[in-house]
Amino acid sequence: MAFYYDEPSYTFSEYLLVPGYSSRECMPSNVSLKTPLVKFNQGEEPTISMNIPVVSAIMQAVSDDKMAIALALEGGVSFIFCSQTVENQAAMVSKVKNYKAGFVISDSNIKPDQTLADILEMKEKTGHSTVAVTDDGTSKGKLLGLVTSRDYRISRLPLNTKVHEFMTPFTSLICANQGISLKEANNYIWDHKLNTLPVIDENQNLVSLVFRKDYDTHKENPDALLDSLKRYVVGAGINTKDYEERVPALVEAGADVLCIDSSEGFSEWQKVTIDFIRNRYGDKVKVGAGNVVDREGFMFLAEAGADFIKVGIGGGSICITREEKGIGRGQATAVIEVAKARDEYFEKTGVYIPICSDGGIVHDNHITLALAMGADFVMLGRYFARFDESPTNKFNLNGNFMKEYWGEGSNRARNWQRYDMGGKSELSFEEGVDSFVPYAGELRPNVQITLNKVKSTMCNCGVITIPELQKKAKLTRVSSTSIIEGGAHDVVLKDNNILAVK
C-alpha cells in the first residue's frame, strides 16, 4: 500500500511569523544577512559564504554574466544557466571573473587600422567605452593606444576614420609595469587623475587594465562578494549528461561553485555526477545538488557529497510539474522537513550542509519565512527576471512595460537535459510555460528594498542573524480568512479605484 502523509503540505502564504522580544540592539542597521553557501565542519568557517541569502536561478531568462555581476555587487551569487553550449557558458563565467574591480583583462580590443564604425559596434556589443588598441587586436597584444568616448565625436568624424588617427597614442599614456599591487595602481590613478591605468609587461604587451570606477564601485558596495583575488564570485549550472565536458570547462573559466540543474534530485544520476567531480577534483570544486522535498532525498544527496542541497519541486511560478505529473510538495512543508534532516545530519556527523529554498517565493516576506523555517538561502527566478540585468527583452504590452520569462521545461528553453531520465535527447512534454512579468527597473534598488523588509522582520522577531532567526522564530499557520485579513480590505484603494475585498 502507498505511504500517505498524515497532514497536507503547506505553502509560505499559509504561515505567519509571530513577533518576539526585541532589545534595543534589534535595529535593521545591526542585522547581518551573512550565510553559508557550501558545507563546512563544525567549528570551521565555510569556504564560501554570501553576504545576502539570495541566489539567482539557473535559467535562460534570468542568469547570465550581466546578472551575475549585478548580484555579486549586492553580496549574492548567480548560477549562470547551463542550457547553452559549454563554450558560451564558460565565456560568461570568464566575463564575470575578469570584470571585477582590480586587474581586468580587457575584453574590448581593436587593431589600429580598424575604423570608428568598428569602435561603435564594439561599444554596442560590450557596453564598454574604453577600448585598448593593440597590434593584433587581442587583450595580450602590444599596446599602441587607448580609445575612450573623449577621443571622438560622431558628428565630426566619418565612420571610416582609422582608429590610429583619433586614439590616444601609447606615448601619451601613463602606464604601470606588471607586478604593481592594486593599492599602488589605485594610487597611480589618483595621483595622475586617470580614469584608466594600463598595466604592461617589459615588451609593452598589455597585461590588464585598472579602472577608477571600479575603486568607486567597491567603496559604494561594501557587501560585494569577492574571491581571494578580489574578483566577483560566480556560480554555474551543470547537468547530469555532459558533465565530463562541461565541468572542466567551467572550472578552467573560474567558476567558484557549481550546481546540478535538475527537476528532481533523488536520483543515481546526481550521485554519478558528484562522484565524477570528487574523483577528479576532490573537495576543491564545490557543487550543489537537488531538488528534493523530504528527509530521504536530503540524506541521499548529503551522503553523495553535495556541498549544498536545493529544496522544492513544482513551486516555481513558471513550473507546471505538479500539474503535468502530479508530483511535488508544498514549499513550506518541504523546507521544514529538509531543514530538520539537515540538523539531524549535522548532529550526527558534525558537517553542516546548507539548504536552498528554490521556488514558491511570491512575496518578499516569503524569503524571511523560508529562512525562519531553516533555509540558509533562497533561489529566485521570477523575482530577478523583472530587472534590467536579466537577459530578456523588455516591451510595452497594453501600456505596461513587461519582460519575458520562461521555464527551463518549456518548449522555448528546450532544456531536455534537466528533465531527461535516460531517454531520447528531447522534451517529450512541457513542464514549464512561456510568460511575461512586470518590468521592475534596476536590480539594486529593488534588492535593497527586499532586504530591508527581511531585516525589519528579523528585528520584529528579536534577532539580528539568520542562525538566530532559525533558532528563535515562532511560526503559526493561518486560515484562508486571516490571509485576506492580512492585506488591504474593506476600503477603496486610491491607486486603482477598486474595492480591495468585496
Closest to 364 measured CA to CA, from 443, 453, 440: 453
297 is written with which cell numbers? 532525498
Question: CB under 8 Å to 150, separation ≥6 — which residues?
Answer: none
152 contacts 119 by C-beta, under 8 angstroms:
yes
* H or E stretch covering 179: none
Phi, psi (deg, nearest 5) at residue 453 = -65, -45
Hey, which residues does 142 pair with through a beta bridge?
205
Question: Where are the alpha helices (H) located in 294-363, listed in sequence order?
Answer: 295-304, 321-325, 331-349
Catalytic residue chosen out of the listed positions 386, 418, 459, 461: 418
Phi/psi region, residue 23 (left: phi>0; alpha: psi -120 to 50; beta: rest), is: beta
From CA 273, how far away is CA 284, in angstroms rounded? 15
278 is a catalytic site residue: no
From CA 305, how far away is CA 302, in angstroms rounded? 5
From CA 180, how far away is CA 457, in angstroms rounded? 46
Catalytic residue chosen out of the listed positions 26, 82, 259, 319: 319
From CA 244, how far away is CA 496, in angstroms rounded? 54
73 contacts 221 by C-beta, under 8 angstroms:
yes
Name the amino acid, one letter, at 448: Q
The angle at the Cα of 49, spanning 43 to 53, to the nearest 5 degrees, equals 120
3-state secondary structure of 469: helix
Hey, which residues does 180 pair with through a beta bridge?
none
CA distances from 94 to 212, 231, 251, 294 (A): 21, 11, 10, 36
461 contacts 473 by C-beta, under 8 angstroms:
yes
Phi/psi region, residue 193 (left: phi>0; alpha: psi -120 to 50; beta: rest), is: left
418 is a catalytic site residue: yes
Pairing label, strands 176-177, 40-41: unpaired
HSE-CB at 426 with a 13 A cutoff on CA atoms is 3
Closest to 265 measured CA to CA, from 162, 380, 355: 355
Q: Which residues are catalytic?
A: 319, 418
